[in-house]
Amino acid sequence: MKLYPAIDLYQGKCVRLEKGAFDKSKTYYENPLDAAKYWEDQGSDYIHIIDLDGSKDGQFVNFKSLVDIVQKTSLKVQFGGGIRSMANVETLANIGVDRIIIGSLAIKQFDLFKTILNQFGEKIVCAIDAKGGYIATDGWTEISEYHFLEFAKLLDQVGCSNILYTDISRDGMLTGPDLKSYQMLKVGSKQKIVASGGVSSLDDLRKLSTLNLDAVIVGKAFYENAFTFDEAIKALQEETND
């Protein structure tokens, strides 16, 4: 199970929000590259980056920070936020982004999403960000008509093999992950699942690792020193070895 430390980009800084609320942000690094280098020094192979401004505005806003991290670290970057076109995806692939997260575009322009998926395959991760069971878009500011599980099944049908599921009500709240929804996805769909939102303890990581997910994203728990990167890796390995 892969472990992705999270970097959320907002107004050029590394921040964390509570439940996706832009008026409830806390800055952890003035320069996101410093955050990325810290996680690289800790031994991480991966980093998860979201352009929060881009998610809301529908365009790349913190692109320079992304390019700096891709070019100046050896981290494999998983990136999302503001991706609204094939050209956006091609740009990210060309600069060396490892995995490209598509959320709002998949909901609002499904035919275009299928075209992108056909061209980029495993590189694409579809974000399923749920609020009350229904998928939110546009930086989590709008709620769609799609229930998360039904949309996951639709993604199965078009060959999307990677999904990132977030329970918005838990994001940045340190209240524990949405284990029930991950279990539903494992039973109801075939994708590799990336877990995001709510991780608060090593016990949360141990519980997630029993579900045979592909990866977990940890943000606020790291930045608030709930546990270290080494402790997180060991917790995930404990369950894998049992």
The neighbour count for residue 189, using CB atoms within 10 Å, is: 20
Nearest Cα neighbor of 211 from 236, 175, 174 is 236
Per the annotation, the verdict on 111 as an active-site residue is no
| 3-class secondary structure, 164 | strand
CA distance 206 to 84: 35
Q: Which residues pair with 102 in a beta bridge?
A: 126
Q: What DSSP string runs through 45-97?
A: SEEEEEEHHHHHHTS-SSHHHHHHHHHHS-PEEEEESS--SHHHHHHHHHHT-
Per the annotation, the verdict on 171 as an active-site residue is no
Strands (E), 117-229: 124-131, 134-137, 142-147, 162-167, 192-196, 215-218
Nearest Cα neighbor of 46 from 71, 67, 74, 72 is 74
User: Residue 162: what are its φ and ψ, rounded to 5°?
Assistant: -130, 125
- What is the distance of C-alpha 152 from the center of its chain? 16
Q: Among 34, 68, 111, 129, which one carries the catalytic annotation? A: 129
Number of residues in the chain: 242
Q: Which residues are catalytic?
A: 8, 129
